Structure 1
């Protein structure tokens, strides 16, 4: 069965998006990264939060805008939302509850990864005991404010085990497994 992977690029000070979900900061930090290329080839489905789905795009204004991983991946997407759009979006299924979204995404992914996109969905998956791994690509930048990698009011203590630590041209890749 598929594993849930939260892969995300983060500033050194712990932010995955700037204020208001701004992703423009990421544009200058996108560079060839063998770890990302490899993981993208192993993704079978996406589980996306509604804010991420409707949010800012680091590829805005280019031919890559609106495409998962800038067009590097294509496949089924499951968006967790209570407010689906009036018109269908090709390749996208809108799901109203986390359990159904995870089940549908895992089924679609088969033996491949379900890549989780969005801090809120990742936190919900952690809380439900469903998140298996995290790949955090650390960009050499300090944002100072924005959307945190993990924002858990009241705190938590999620145990992680390091799977890998590698360097790329403009980033450091930290791969962790959630200890269950």
Structure 2
């Protein structure tokens, strides 16, 4: 079964989205990243939180990229963790009401590839359930000052991470960890 990987781009002050989930800040930081380009081919399924699924899109206004995973660079099965699924089916998207079902179904769909976790809350839930295997954080040089934190777990215990690799790019730094 595939590993669960939380991949995300983060501001230097620890935010992955601006206030109210605003993703517009991200657009100018989506420069070339060979690690991400390689990773996209290794993703077999997405496990997405409901707020992320229905939230802001950094490609808003671009008809060729808006609403598409990785701006259209990836296509495959998506699993959305939600207690409020839409009344009509969405092609290629499965809505799951509990984490265990969402993880099991996304792992099965991914085969031996990664399940890419998108969304801070679903990533936190995966950590708490002992399901998250790796974290790839792409740190970019901007300070947002407010918004959605990379990982917010008030009162939570430390989560040990083992560094797998670090890549310094002109516009970002990739930090890849194994959850220990």
Instruction: Tell which deviates more after alignment, 152-161 or 105-114.
Output: 152-161
Mapping for residues 20-169 of structure 1, pairs under 5 Å: 20-62=20-62, 63-169=64-170
TM-score, normalised with respect to structure 1: 0.98
Gaps of 5+ in 2: none
| Aligned mates of 2:167, 2:155 — CA distance in 1 | 32
Report if the CA contact (8 A) 1:32-1:169 is conserved: no
Indicate the residue corresponding to 1:7 in structure 2.
7
Q: Deviations over 1:52-110 (max 9, x none)?
A: 00000000000200000000000000000000111111100000000000000000000
- Give the whole-Å Cα distance in 2 for the aligned partners of 1:60 and 1:174: 27
The CA deviation string for residues 90-135 of structure 1, in whole angstroms up to 9 with x for no partner, is: 1000000000000000000000000000000000000000000000
Distance 2:30 2:111 in 1: 29
TM normalised by structure 2 equals 0.98
Q: How many residues align?
A: 179
Unmatched segments (≥5 aa) in structure 1 = none
> Could you report, residue by residue, the CA deviation over 1:4-36 in whole angstroms, capped at 9, with x for unpaired residues?
000000000000000000000001101110000
Q: What's the Cα RMSD here?
A: 0.6
Q: Aligned partners of 1:138, 1:17: CA distance in 2, in Å?
A: 13
**Partners of 1:31 and 1:169 within 8 A in 2:** no
Query: 4+ runs of 1 displaced by more than 3 Å?
Result: none
CA distance in 2, matches of 1:33, 1:135: 12
2:52 match: secondary structure:
helix
